[in-house]
Structure 1
Amino acid sequence: MGFTYIFEYLRRLELPTIPRLIFNGSNGNEKFDWTRTEVKLKRIMGLQTFISFNILPNPHNNSENVMYMSVPRTQCRRRSLRKHHDDISKKIIKYVVQEIIRNITSEIIPESMMADAFFIIRNITGFLCQTRNKSSPKESDLLPYKFEDLQEEIDRHMSGKINHTEPEFLHSYVGHIFDGIEDVDIDFQQDLLYIKDSTKSFILDIITYIYSLPEAYVEFYLWWDVVKRLISYTYLNEFVRRIENPHGRIRINALSGRALELPCSKEVTSFMQYAVTYGIAQRWFKTSTGQQVKIMVKQMRDELRNNIETADWLDEKTRTANLEKLKSMNSFIGIPDWLFVDGELAKYYRKVGGEVCESYS
């Protein structure tokens, strides 16, 4: 497989196919919102590069969920192996970047730029590892912070370190997290953000560090984070493995077959789900079985609401939280309402078919 899969993900993540660092260095007037790309990486690929953000049960009240910021996992090498790993990484970065760029343009990448690309990746990864090791060796309690209070701490930390502030950082980052998600309304005045006391220093340090870097460096690092994870779905996978293990035997056909299997099955499953459902689902489902299930679900919700309202062992705060959670729950039963409406399935595939063709053109 070529680079179609990589280019498609870069487009969805709003990353360039050619990072501006490659030919322009850190120059250029283009603005890069790293928080938006970081959040897209989490929502689309499940990756968390700089900051980890999750929704987890409140450790002090399991009946509600809370927003939780923490330290992402970073692959850190032992100091004794760093020199050997650097030599291998330098070869892989140079080879992969050159191959991808060669498929887009005939322009030659300067050797000095490839050296810069390696050092940018190594230095940012090194900072993440160093800061993570410094800030997370011990367990500590989750502490709640108001957005305003945590933002003030971020501004104070940044101002002292780099004489710069980003007063809208938390609003922007968390806003991107929930952008487009229905039935979620973040109250930045009342809602709380939970952070382990031992990892708060990491969050302050990494935010400050990122904003101290040229935007082209941060863009390239995120670009590489995507590309390196998708290499296994391209013909580059075998060459990278040979660089990593020059004396080992590699079963090329087995590896490449597996690399093709994952993206292909994912694309087919996603694209054909409604067509397959149309072929096997009963036409009367929505008016017979589906309607019965809908009534049953409503009765269950009504019974659960009554139990919550009348339970004498619940305090009012917990009762209110449970009723709010029940109210926000949506039911999706069987098939979409439009599936068997004349012409709607064809209309759906005309729309998504055009998107798929555009992605692979």
Structure 2
Amino acid sequence: MNAWSGEDGDVMGPTVARAASSAKPNTPPLKNGNDLRESGYLIAVGSRTSRFRRKYKKRLPFIVIIIIFILLLIAFIIITILYALAIHRKPPKICRSPECLRSAANLALSMDMTANPCENFYQYVCGNWGSDHPRPDAYRSYDWFRDKQTKVYTIVRDFLNRNTSHQPKAVQQAKDMFLGCMNTETLDKRGLKPVIAVLETLGLPPFPTFINATEDFDYSAYTFDWLDTVIKVKTQIGMDVLIGFDIFTDPKNSSVYRLIMGSPETTNPFPSTHTERKRHNGRRNLKDLINFITKTTDFLYKIDRRSDKADVDEEKIAHIHKIFYAELMKLFVLEEDAVNKSKLTELELDQNIIHTADEYYEASTDIYELESDNSTDIDDEDFQNIPEYTVDEIQSHTDSVVENNNGTASPIWKRYLEGIFNVSNTVLDFENDKILVSEPDLKYMSLMAAYVSKTPPVVLELYIWIKVVEVMSIHTTTELRDMFQRAYEQTHAHETIPPRSLQCANAVNDMLGMAVSYGIADPHFFNVTKPKIITMIDELKNSLAHLVGQARWMDDNTKVATYQKIIEMKTLIGFPDWLLEDGKLEEYYEGIEIDPEKHLENMININQVKTKKVLNKFREGNNFTWATDPTEVNAYHTFQENTITVPMVMLQHPFFDLGLDSLNYGSLGTVLGHEITHGFDNFGRQFDKNGNMLPWWSNNTISSFVNMTRCFVDQYSEYYLPELDEHVDGKKTLGENIADNGGLREALAALKHHLRKRGPEPKLPGFEHMTPEQLFFLSYGNLWCGVSTRDSLKSDLEDEHSPQMFRARGALQNSEEFARAWHCPPGSAMNPHKRCVIF
């Protein structure tokens, strides 16, 4: 038999036949070692392990079976657990709140899903916004900000129409003012008498003397104290004519106020009938200074009163204006029955009126050129060194210019300031109360003095008369409003006057904004909304501080100063804390009287009270008050107070309360980040933590900063509008572009920190496949959705903000996180090889 046998392994040897135990074994002859091994008599040392291998080979199948069984058992247990978890696992939590559903619907309806987000993200997010939000005829452009402001006016209108009891006096006055504005029957019945009464108090005739309603009028003998009238216009209706004057905080010491003079600033002291922000014709250096100190997101488009209608030439515009002014003067001539009193025929009188309109237009053009020709871009360094003069020094300078222009010098500036402050409790010290005047403004003041010294008094009276009557008359009769509207539509394409109720709501909101805010303020704001905004702002500040810490272009000392400015930055959120306190609103509007039968007089009274308060506060310290009313859809950064202001209407849909933090931070968070960043952009870097215009950045840091800004200038200058065949001005828009980019980066970092602290947020219905980062970028892009006409785009290019599609595009192109979130391939439009980053 075979004891072990095998073909490959060690074996004992050939088969052995065994004899009976009693038999004597046969002993073969001795052989050598190999023979013995071959015959099976000698065993190699290694064959012992072979014995063990043979034993394990018997056990191997059993071990393998055991291992397989264990593995199968483990797999079974894992599958069972996974199955059990799958059965009991809840689906992803989806936000079903009204806010989330509304946000999801707005995003979905705005988006163009056929667009590639990596090539044109603005089209992807906003491609269908216009069809879902058709532009009203009242606006040349329409976006979320216009949409919200219109709704605010509607809410204000409804509140002012509603009967309420136990309201503060100022709230009731707001309601009475609204009634007076809406009472067009009374306005028509009173006619032009309110305007003529105001003209009399200003030292102006019922209609311009230049018309010469009598045939024997002697122009050379006519006298007119233009300066006295200009003073009265400023103190009685709050309007600048020929001379601009204001009181503002000292750029180098924000705790005190200074006198500022220059070209006219407040050229229309009354609310606009187009619910637009007031804008003066052309550049004004006084306004440049004020805008420099107070930067805003400027969401509401400002419309120049001069036409920008592309297909209307200058001669046609001039003709439209002259006809309008002739019609305006003719109404006042008829009101005074001058036609019947005149020795001239009606045709001769009409010819005189047309000639008067021509004369006014020429004078207006001359004075406008004095402003525009002497308005230049002021370098950053110039703002730090605005000259200050005594009134005598200004007089001496302007006198020399007048005499060099063959004019007759006369004392102007001291008399003007004395006349202005006569209505206040403040007495000026002309030796110590120096006046801030920029070089371009001083040049304007000098040339203006030369101009008036050589201009006939009857022409100066005409110029002032029309300037004043123009802004008052539109707030009187239906006939005058219609006349204004016809001229406006002829020179402004695609725009009409809003309904009367919204005009009046805007007027009340403009003049009595705090009283209106009291009426529509949410009493739960302090306990619900404000804490959330405070948290968001704190996170944004922390994010900026972290980004500053990573910046290699800042030296350590500048970083420390930056941290201190961030810490000291104040925020005014929603509405003033005192607004809902008993008696505070009455104190705020002390001195104002409203008569529901006298709309024009109501506005004039409010302006008079405000003017006196501004003059009276000249000796007081700056109390860092609100820069705007809580009902304005805007946000402000006030450089000289190191403060950002966030009105309560910005804390609502579509900017906040969107359901998810990713959406809130992508919208309002980026707006707030924008305002925070303004404190450190190319303008804000000049103001320290106390709001004083003092150097606080090292020279090396400034040099590095300036070098880095060139990237932004080049990037935005490449953005092209084919409709106009023009590019964005990257230099003019630099400050706002830096703020946009910084605000986006801060808000995204703040969101990530917020979600790490609070945990993951629910999914947005219809957008369950998107990450919080993607929703953040969607919300940011949606913030800038809008529709524009060609004219509004042209206005956009003149503004310090880039057009809205480029505000979205630029910041996102510079965001590496955006490219990662949307998986944009390198070199695609939204993932360029070169990015511009400062903060």
Whether the TM-score (by the shorter chain) exceeds 0.5 is yes
* Aligned-partner SS, 2:313: helix
Separation of aligned partners in 2, 1:161 and 1:100? 36
1:172 and 2:415 are equivalent in the alignment = yes
Q: Please list the CA deviations of residues 9-48 of structure 1 after superposition, one character each: whole Å capped at 9, or x if unmatched.
A: 2123221112221116671645322222222222232221
Structure (1 or 2) with the larger CA radius of gyration: 2
Partner of 2:249: helix, strand, or coil?
A: strand
Q: Is the 8 A contact 1:26 1:214 kept in 2?
A: no
Q: Distance in 2 between matches of 1:252 and 1:71?
A: 29
SS at match of 1:53: strand
State the shift of 1:133 in Å: 2.0
Report what 1:75 is aligned to. Answer: 281
Do the aligned partners of residues 232 and 152 (structure 1) sit closer, same or farther apart at CA in structure 2, a change above 3 Å counting? same
Separation in 1 of the partners of 2:201 and 2:489? 33
Flag the 1:29–1:104 CA change in 2: closer, same or farther, 3 A. Answer: same
The corresponding residue for 2:240 is 48
The question of 1:31 aligning with 2:226 is answered no
Q: Report sequence identity in percent.
A: 17
In the alignment, the residues of structure 1 paired with residue 431 and residue 484 of structure 2 have an alpha-carbon distance, to the nearest angstrom, of: 49
What whole-Å deviation, never above 9, does each CA across 1:311-360 have from its counterpart, x for those lacking one? Answer: xxxxxxxxxxxxxxxxxxxxx99989xxxxxxxxxxxx9xx99xx9xx9x
Picking from 124, 131, 137, the partner of 2:370 is 131
Could you tell me which amino acid in structure 1 is paired with residue 424 of structure 2? I
Return the alpha-carbon distance in structure 1 between the equivalents of residues 440 and 498 of structure 2. 47
- Structure 1 149/16 Cα, relative in aligned 2: closer, same or farther at 3 Å? same
Contact 2:402 / 2:450 at 8 angstroms: preserved in 1? Answer: yes
What is the identity, as a one-letter code, of the residue corresponding to 1:220? L
Q: 1:241 to 1:66 in 2, by over 3 A?
A: same
The CA deviation at 1:154 is 1.2
Equivalence map 1:293-308=2 (5 Å): none
State whether structure 2 residue 355 is matched by structure 1 residue 116: yes
- Cα distance in structure 1, aligned partners of 2:336 and 2:502: 26
Residue 215 (structure 1) aligned with residue 421 (structure 2): no
Residue of structure 2 equivalent to 1:181? 424
Over the aligned positions, Cα root-mean-square deviation in angstroms equals: 3.6
Decide whether aligned partners of structure 1 residues 149 and 106 sit closer, same or farther in structure 2, where only a CA change above 3 A counts. closer
1:85-234 matches, cutoff 5 A = 85-107=317-339, 108=346, 110-139=349-378, 140=382, 141-166=385-410, 168-182=411-425, 184-233=426-475, 234=477
Deviations 1:239-282 (A, max 9, x none): 34235447999999954x7778999x89xx9xxxxxxxxxxxxx
Deviations, residues 141-194 of structure 1 (Å, cap 9, x unaligned): 32111222211111111111124110x211211111111311x11122332111
CA–CA separation in structure 2 for the residues paired with 1:213 and 1:63:
42
Report the CA distance shift for 1:249/1:149 in structure 2 as closer, same or farther (over 3 A). closer
Q: Distance in 1 between matches of 2:494 and 2:253?
A: 54
Provide the rounded CA distance (Å) in 1 between the counterparts of 2:415 and 2:405. 21
Task: Summarize deviations over 1:205-263 as a string: whole Å, max 9, x none.
Answer: 112112211111111111111211123222222134235447999999954x7778999
Show the counterpart of 1:303: none
The whole-number CA distance in structure 2 between the counterparts of 1:242 and 1:334 is 40
Q: Any idea what SS the aligned residue of 2:437 has?
A: strand
TM-score between both structures, scaled by the size of structure 2: 0.30
* 1:21 pairs with one of 210, 230, 236: 210
SS of the residue 2:239 aligns to:
coil
Q: Which residue of 1 aligns with 2:481?
A: 237
After the TM superposition, which segments of 4 or more aligned residues of structure 1 sit over 6 Å from their partners?
246-253, 257-263, 332-336
Shift of 1:196: 0.5
> Retained in 2: the 8 A contact 1:20–1:26?
no
Return the alpha-carbon distance in structure 2 between the equivalents of residues 26 and 249 of structure 1.
46
Q: Would the aligned equivalents of 2:242 and 2:448 in 1 still touch at CA under 8 Å?
A: yes
Give the letter aligned to residue 173 of structure 1: Y
- Contact persistence 2:407–2:454 (CA under 8 A): no
Q: Distance in 1 between matches of 2:459 and 2:469?
A: 15
Structure 1 gaps, min length 5 = 270-331, 337-348
Q: 1:239 to 1:169 in 2, by over 3 A?
A: closer
Counterpart contact for 2:210–2:462, Cα < 8 Å: yes
1:4 aligned residue (175, 178, 193): 193
Whole-Å separation in 2 of the counterparts to 1:60 and 1:251: 44
In structure 2, do the counterparts of structure 1 residues 188 and 196 end up closer, same or farther at CA, with 3 Å as the change threshold? Answer: same
Distance 1:84 1:149, change over 3 A: same
Determine helix, strand or coil for the equivalent of 2:264. Answer: coil
Residues of 2 paired with 1:202 and 1:251: CA distance? Answer: 35
Q: Is the Cα contact below 8 Å between 1:88 and 1:244 reproduced in 2?
A: no
Q: Distance in 2 between matches of 1:249 and 1:144?
A: 45
Counterpart of 1:222, as a letter, is I
User: What letter matches 1:7 in structure 2?
Assistant: I
Say if 1:26 and 1:217, in contact at 8 Å, map to a contact too: no
Distance 2:387 2:498 in 1: 51
Is the counterpart of residue 64 in structure 1 residue 253 in structure 2?
no
CA separation in 1, counterparts of 2:368 and 2:498? 36
